[in-house]
Chains A and B, each alone.
Chain A
């Protein structure tokens, strides 16, 4: 069988000459997936790390230790800053350059046209880059993935197969949690086999949520190829000039505080009053305040001061926001959707305040205080005032 598509390409991100954690996480997941894949299909497809930047030859090699079988790097002063147009062009060139593809695996040099799979980070850079690269390659992608499976999928689809039953071998099942956190949607990127509009859609792309997957332990004995790709850079693709970069301090800090108090849709009976109660509770505990994703969509009317301070994406705890691990986590009116739980499950001691014993948060806390937050928090504050003075010190 002719193999036009092989390998899993991982697009690596660098900041300050360091790999972003998500890049190493993606490599780890790529390694695990392809080890199983190669066993299952008795083949030798590769994990290929792709990295762009300036003066990066030396650090590119390290990606082998983190699970890559090959590294393709492009080194140019024009690639020092991440600029969407030039990055999109160079990554797309790498994905289609026959000579580079042949270097990755000489045995398939005459057949291979493109990578089979492509991973990006679902962050400020990777989200847009994945979109434009896959638009350039005219293939598909899914964003914000937190689980991946490779399967042979037998299906009939009105459009993809014109209703005929067909098998799509080696298909990447891309799982993304939806905004509610209760539903998982599986996205597939499939070739059109419908004779009316036959088209190949490869690579199958996705962007992966930072912090979800585990990197592998770096192993300096791992061997791999390091391949330099010299890109064709057109003046037209260098129109954006980066004038300055300024680091800003976030007003929200989930790393230092020992306590985080978060709230969710349970504030609904009296949003304004309940947010104020959460504020008071947080003040007593010297805590930072977090919210669930639905709250950041501003579903309730509260004063504009409270709204712009608390009901914001920056405070979201969960897969769409921050991962936290304070000593004490208090979840008030939080149902416990998986996407939120991911952001708080490493906390030391977890207290939930919720009137509904069936809420999933019950399985994620150490103490479940049954009751409405408007009733419980005032009593709790009173107790804290009595007991906690020492802790402040």
Chain B
């Protein structure tokens, strides 16, 4: 029996220099900033590609966004050699919070070809940064959710996955937890994920699929299906603004806290002044030696 893998991705502001633009007050200038496949989405696509190379998985990618989000699908196809691209695009979906978004993604994943064995999502979006959409989509799908996965291996005979998860908790050292679960599972992939292809045959397969991916991504529109709300068959009251419990009430500049320190301003090109600064640094460091 084959393996069906889905990836959900997001078009995000491109934070790389030359593409990102900040307003004079330090906030992101969204109009000037270009968009790209989110970095965490890219890692999710890599994790799916690992299943392709190792197990010849069939890969489907879904995203919710404006029509231009097909760019992200193309970029993710280039990474993963995906066979099917889904864009869920409708004004009805706009303004959704994570629950309203998860409803669309869940419905979309259920429309993909084949029953999914694994769904991958990124750790979090680099603009929204909530990390909630993945687990909420998993819950709506009824899939076992595995978070912070840094590596995984599949056993297709028993239809099980073994995965390592990174658990970071305040005030305790990080823990790598190894878990086992039957498929299907929903994985949010940790930024530390790296695919390793050790054998010659794996590396050959890697090259083969990479070539195929480039070819497909050039003609990505052949693989692309665009769905509006009606075509997707979503309940209109569960998506977009009606389906979102939360709203953004206000956005404000974080008030400058009252100065906690009185800075002495010195000229960085004056060695005599720097000499004094280093003297004070030294004092600060030696303070702890006195017990």
Q: List A residues at the B interface (Cβ < 8 Å).
A: 13, 15-16, 20-22, 84-85, 88, 121, 123-125, 127-128, 130-132, 134-136, 138-144, 153, 155, 157-160, 173, 177-190, 192, 194, 196-197, 199, 201, 210-211, 239-250, 258-259, 268, 271, 294, 297-301, 312-313, 320, 327-328, 335, 337-339, 341, 345, 348-353, 357, 360, 362-372, 375-376, 379-380, 382-384, 386-388, 390-391
Contact = CB atoms under 8 A, between A and B. Distances in A.
A87 to B, nearest CB: 11
Contacts of A185: 248, 250-251
Interface stretch (B21-29, B73-81, B109-117, B198-206): B21-29
B278 A363 contact: no
B39 A297 contact: yes
B82 to A, nearest CB: 24
Interface of B: 15-17, 20, 22, 25-28, 39, 97-99, 102, 126-127, 129-136, 138-140, 144-148, 162, 166-182, 188, 191, 237, 241-242, 244-254, 256-269, 271, 274-275, 277-288
Given A180-B22, A246-B175, A376-B268, 16 more contacts: A20-B170, A20-B171, A127-B132, A141-B245, A183-B251, A183-B253, A184-B251, A187-B248, A188-B246, A190-B246, A241-B180, A294-B15, A327-B284, A369-B277, A380-B274, A391-B286
Given A128-B145, A135-B102, A143-B130, A338 B279 contact: no
A341 B257 contact: yes
B160 to A, nearest CB: 9
The main secondary structure of chain A at its interface with chain B is: mixed
A159 B172 contact: no
Contact of B166 (A124, A183, A384): A124
Contacts of A241: 179-181
Contacts, number: 312
Contacts of B26: 180-182, 335, 337
B41 to A, nearest CB: 13
B169 A250 contact: no
B253 A124 contact: no
Contact of B284 (A132, A210, A328, A345): A328
Nearest to B270: A379
B176 A369 contact: no
A371 B252 contact: no
A388 B278 contact: yes
B107 to A, nearest CB: 14
Given A327-B287, A368-B265, A383-B275, A297 B180 contact: no
B271 A369 contact: no
The main secondary structure of chain B at its interface with chain A is: mixed
B167 A363 contact: no
Contact of B254 (A128, A134, A184, A250): A184
Contact of B268 (A153, A297, A353): A353
A371 B250 contact: no
Contacts of B250: 185-186
Contacts of A312: 191
B145 A248 contact: no
Contact of B245 (A139, A180, A181): A139
A124 B257 CA distance: 29
A331 B99 CA distance: 39
A356 B281 CA distance: 22
Contact of A258 (B175, B251, B285): B285
Contacts of A199: 237
A121 B172 CA distance: 14
A363 B263 contact: yes
A264 B20 CA distance: 15
7 contacts: A20-B169, A22-B170, A131-B136, A183-B251, A184-B253, A376-B268, A391-B286
A388 B98 CA distance: 52
Contacts of B191: 312-313
Nearest to A137: B245
B289 to A, nearest CB: 9
B249 A391 contact: no
B282 A387 contact: yes
B263 A250 contact: no
B246 A144 contact: no
B162 to A, nearest CB: 7
A157 B173 contact: no
A196 B147 CA distance: 36
A240 B146 contact: yes
Most chain A beta carbons < 10 A, residue from B25, B135, B136, B281: B281
Contacts of A135: 99, 102, 135-136, 139-140
B254 A181 contact: yes
Nearest to A382: B271
A190 B127 CA distance: 23
Contacts of A130: 132
Contacts of A380: 274, 277-278
B265 to A, nearest CB: 5
Contacts of A131: 98, 131-136, 139
